[in-house]
Amino acid sequence: MSELTELTIKETARLLRLRSFSAAELVTAHVEQIERVDHRVKAFLRFTPELWEKQADEADRRIARGDLGPLVGIPMAVKDVLCVRGVETTAGSQILKGFRPPYTGTAVARLFDAGAVMLGVTNCDEFAMGSSTENSGYFPTRNPWDLDRVPGGSSGGSAAAVAAGEAMIALGTDTGGSIRQPAALCGVVGMKPTYGRVSRYGLIAFASSLDQIGPFTRSVEDAAIVLEAMGGHDPLDATSSTRANDVLRDFDAGVKGMRIGVPREYNEVEGMEPAVKAAIEAAIKSLREAGAEIVDVGLPHTDYGLAAYYIIAPAECSSNLARFDGVRYGMSSQDALNITEAYERTRRKGFGTEVRRRVMLGTYALSSGYYDAYYLKAQKVRTLIKRDFDAAFEKCDAIIGATSPTVAFPIGSKTQDPLSMYLCDVLTLGGNLAGLPGISVPCGMTEQLLPVGLQVLAPQWREDVALRVARAYEVASGVKAEVAPLV
């Protein structure tokens, strides 16, 4: 039944109604695929059979009643930073080992209501800090296209699960590129919505002004379907927007007459690989042939984005992670002599190297005497970066370029040099600093058969534009996300 694990939501929804197979059979096919490949890919941290049995039964009852919801019965994986009631959720960290949230976050709850079936919890970099999933407090995940390479990160488990046919959809979070970059490296679709589109209630916070939840799928339309189901206002998140969640507007309208901007700085970023550049040039050509007007735009502060990001994100993380003190949940050193020693022992044992590095960096940037030089300065540069995008969007409707300057890199190749790892996000983190929606879609393979991703960025709240351009590219190029063979 391997073909059941290669379908899109749209195809599945139709076949479920034709009674070609049941939701229970669909789940079984995915569980069999997990059994076949996950010991090699290692996308999942834990499985949720009690949920998938109950939810698949419920899905079959809904289908029998004539429910036409597109997500009814769709097998889903959830990144280990999204709280699901009663399901161990650890943010990829030892410090939260054993934590079972007493509630379910809004995005997941809405997808459950829409009929999605949860298969399990996917691996990620600890507290979503990383670009390779090697910072997981448990084990690294492998890229389904080449098991010796990383899947990207931080949502590497979610990207790999969808690329390996272990889940039809997966949820991730994106703070500097953590959905789009792994989507690119694994050859699937990944979307970060506008900041405020999807409620962050129930998301274990990393950098609260940057974090957004988004989907991994194998088609652009599927990403839109998931986003439509989980987005929209939520009173439980004070930053959630009250705007209409109409992301599918003009979805199939094509790019004829649209102005698509290509930032001249994006081709020149550090570490841009020729094979990536070539794939992006082919994508630009394909969109031009589809009728788009390609315009040259400038994002002059691109080179400063990484520096600003690595002040702002660690500063917010050092504050957010102060709550992991071994008192209310997770790992604890109760045998300490006093409370201060208990905090230090708990955090020493519980946090991995990258998390400790960022907590130190953030604490330093926020400390008295350095605040103006680092944190305030970074916030001002954030303004300049946002203004760059505002000016660029005066000249174009959407911006395209590579999602990641590199294809998937070998496991272990960047772990000794944190700055080289940070550079993985140089093309994606601008979207977080400016709060823009961005999507990565597969745009072909290199000669080594490694996927390349095309990023489409749109103005705030214009997910419809990002999706429309991504869809037009998918149609014009004929490039589709495929399940990795894993022979």
Q: How far is the CB of 150 from other proteins (least distance, A)?
A: 20
Q: What angle do CA 316, 85, 120 make, to 5 degrees?
A: 90
> Which positions from 445 through 484 interact with other proteins, judged by CB under 8 A?
460
Q: Looking at 131, 132, 136, 178, which residue is catalytic? A: 178
> Among this protein's residues, is 285 annotated catalytic?
no
> Among this protein's residues, is 333 annotated catalytic?
no
- Which two structure tokens, joined as six digits, stand for 392? 């660029």
> Which positions from 214 through 253 interact with other proteins, judged by CB under 8 A?
235, 238-242
- Which two structure tokens, joined as six digits, stand for 292? 């788009």
Stretch that binds other proteins, among 56-64, 143-151, 171-179, 376-384 (CB under 8 A): 376-384
Q: Report how far residue 62's alpha carbon sits from residue 13's, in angstroms, rounded to the nearest whole number.
A: 12
State the amino acid at position 142 in one-letter form: R
> Among this protein's residues, is 154 annotated catalytic?
yes
The dihedrals phi and psi of 293, each to the nearest 5 degrees, come to -95, 115
- Applying CB under 8 A, among 82, 129, 378, 476 the residue interacting with other proteins is 378
213 contacts other proteins (rule: CB under 8 A): no
Question: Which residues fall within 8 angstroms of residue 42, CB to CB, at 6 or more apart?
Answer: 123, 139, 140, 141, 142, 157, 160
386 contacts other proteins (rule: CB under 8 A): yes
- Applying CB under 8 A, among 28, 363, 413, 446 the residue interacting with other proteins is 363
123 contacts other proteins (rule: CB under 8 A): no
36 contacts other proteins (rule: CB under 8 A): no
Site string for other proteins, 336-355 (x = CB under 8 A): xxxxxxxxxx-xx--x----
- Which two structure tokens, joined as six digits, stand for 209? 């002004």
User: 3-state class of 60 per DSSP?
Assistant: helix
Closest CA to 446 of 217, 185, 153, 268: 185
User: Please, is 336 exposed, middle or buried when counting C-beta atoms within 10 Å of its C-beta (0-12, 13-18, 19+)?
Assistant: middle
> Which positions from 84 through 113 interact with other proteins, judged by CB under 8 A?
98-100, 102-103
306 contacts other proteins (rule: CB under 8 A): yes
Tell me, what DSSP letter sits at residue 376?
Answer: I
Binding-residue total with other proteins (CB under 8 A) = 71
Q: How far is the CB of 345 from other proteins (least distance, A)?
A: 6
329 contacts other proteins (rule: CB under 8 A): yes
Question: Which residues fall within 8 angstroms of residue 463, CB to CB, at 6 or more apart?
Answer: 191, 193, 194, 197, 224, 227, 247, 437
Q: What is the DSSP string of 136-175?
A: -SS----BTTBTTB---SSSHHHHHHHHTTS-SEEEEEES
The H-assigned helical ranges of 243-293 are: 274-289
196 contacts other proteins (rule: CB under 8 A): yes
Q: How far is the CB of 251 from other proteins (least distance, A)?
A: 24
Q: Looking at 132, 136, 154, 404, which residue is catalytic? A: 154
304 contacts other proteins (rule: CB under 8 A): yes
- Applying CB under 8 A, among 147, 275, 307, 475 the residue interacting with other proteins is 307
Q: How far is the CB of 425 from other proteins (least distance, A)?
A: 13
Tell me, what DSSP letter sits at residue 375?
Answer: I
Q: How far is the CB of 364 from other proteins (least distance, A)?
A: 8
331 contacts other proteins (rule: CB under 8 A): yes
- Applying CB under 8 A, among 185, 381, 450, 479 the residue interacting with other proteins is 381
Stretch that binds other proteins, among 38-46, 328-336, 400-408, 464-472 (CB under 8 A): 328-336
> Which positions from 272 through 301 interact with other proteins, judged by CB under 8 A?
301
The H-assigned helical ranges of 371-444 are: 377-395, 418-422, 429-433
- Which two structure tokens, joined as six digits, stand for 348? 């020493």
Q: Report how far residue 311's alpha carbon sits from residue 306's, in angstroms, rounded to the nearest whole number.
A: 9
> Which positions from 124 through 143 interact with other proteins, judged by CB under 8 A?
none
390 contacts other proteins (rule: CB under 8 A): no
**Residues acting as catalytic residues:** 79, 154, 178
